[in-house]
Structure 1
Amino acid sequence: MPRLTSPARRRLIATLPITALLAGSLLATSLPAAAADDSVAGPRTSGDPMFPNIGNGGYDALDYDVSLSWSPTGVADGLVTGDITTATTTMTARALAPLHEFSLDFEGMTVEGVTVNGVPASWSRDIDPAAEKFKLIVTVPTPVEGEFTVAVTYSGTPVRHVDSDGAFEGWNGTNDGAILLGQPIGTMAGFPHNNTPSDKATYTISVDAPSVLANVSGVQGDAAVASNGELQSKTVSGERTTWVWRQDKQMASELVVIAIGRFEVIEGSVTLTDNRVIPSWSFMDAGLSDTNKTTIRNRVAQLETITRNLESIYGP
């Protein structure tokens, strides 16, 4: 993984310029549609006492399809800066009751449009950084029932999220790219979603990035994108590559990671105790010394032994 600079704590994350937010603002884009008599507005909280303004109610998130394009824009404070030039996140969810309004957590960047079941919907943003509140509120022309989809298009300079304890999450610059880290609530700086561990979902994460990146000293190297689940495809188009990852097991959003940088990718496989074979990918910082790279390759060679031992303790 690229070198990170940070406060001395478990998440060693680098700094990014923070996009200015309007505290306590409610930025409406259009007038809300009339609600049906029997529909409700989903709660703007999941009821977490530690983070009362994080998470949402009224629906169960089932799946997220996150597709984004990232490009470096320069160097600041010894770290690479970058923009998300285009992005769309589609959430598939199940309404727990007819909903004429519901909310998602989303910090930073610019929302360009929202559709629900393919139909344009009105939306607003309720933002209060001091209260750790970053709501994207969606009002639908026709109340949703059962399973539905909401697609949000957005772009801009992503921000890092700073916790009340001073820890950095969200999007952070590194010495040759960028990384999105979530625990405990920073994933909302990456894409709109229901930001609570109680609402797990599956994920498809597609990232379009340059095929070659330079570090802050101008040294170029092959780039890669690491994320969750299994690598579904890697498609080269001109000077850019699209990496598609799929997480088929339901997962809390705080566990989502997207790392873009100069990596050497070590592909392999692990044969499990019952002879099933699963793929493995290890992403090694291209800037490491040869000695450190040898150490990492030796550790990667032990993954099968380690995994089989874990199976003996926890099961298949």
Structure 2
Amino acid sequence: MSSRWKRSPAPPSPSPSATGVLIAGPALLLDRVPAAVTLTQLLLGCALTAYTVRQRDRLAVRLAEVREIARITQEAVVRPLSRSFAGTHVSTRYHCAVHGSALGGDLYDVAVTPFGLRVLVGDVRGHGLETVRLTAETVAGFRELAHTAPDLAAVATGLDERLAPELGAEDFVTALLAEFAPGEVRLVNCGHPAPLRAGQRVELLEPGVPTPPLGMGPDPRQYRVRLQPGDRLLLYTDGLTEARSPDGTFFPFLTEAAHALRDPLPDEALDTLYARLLAHTGAAPVDDLALVLCQPTEAAVPAPPTAGRVL
């Protein structure tokens, strides 16, 4: 989560073998311990070792079940995608920085609506279970509003009204909304990193007027961007732009994105971008990361004029 918008591990438990040694170890001193005591300690050590093994196996089964539930939950909230929707191909990648967790504060979703394909990318401030709950709530709100709100500004306003009662005094959600139409994409940006258009040149599509995130009283404004045949639109979270190398150097986002997005296959382009990010950081990202690459697949026909600035 960007700093622009702001309002000890437990000690390892002993292994089964260690438990047995601790209990039965004194029994090795056969010349100093009575035989009855030695036998009792050996039996007790064996019993505790067997119990520990059973408990470990039960915990392993339970952990596997929890991980499977987490995987299913992630796919329900942030579904992995690589397919065409209403004339636009969408590919996604998602990485959660929390070890052992499948879902974090970054989010995305798509909806084919009467108004065209609509896409959401967002970032909930914070980490932990409360953040996961707000992530799910944001996606659920988008899925409901995307099919009924007449424009993206109304979607953003509806999301803000829905989330505001759930957010704490220092909580917020950055959000970028996109709506694809023939020859253009319409955008509403509430405090989120600007999308990147890659075609004859690579450029960030900044809004004319910055709007604060959801939960901070945004006044959403829609703007339009023309898309030429072959243009791609990369939506992402700040886990990409704020990643650093071990010496503190920021990931050269524009340069690396321009290189990766030359790949003609969308999935390969995202894989290349993520691989170059890992090469820069030298390790898995320390922040959540969501990537959504959109490419219109139908011939571009200029859309009729609509409200909003045109780029």
Please give the TM-score of this superposition, normalised by the length of structure 1. Answer: 0.25
Please give the TM-score of this superposition, normalised by the length of structure 2. Answer: 0.25
Query: Counting helix residues as a fraction of each chain, which structure ranks higher?
Result: 2
Query: Counting strand residues as a fraction of each chain, which structure ranks higher?
Result: 1
Determine which structure has more spread, i.e. the larger CA radius of gyration.
Answer: 2
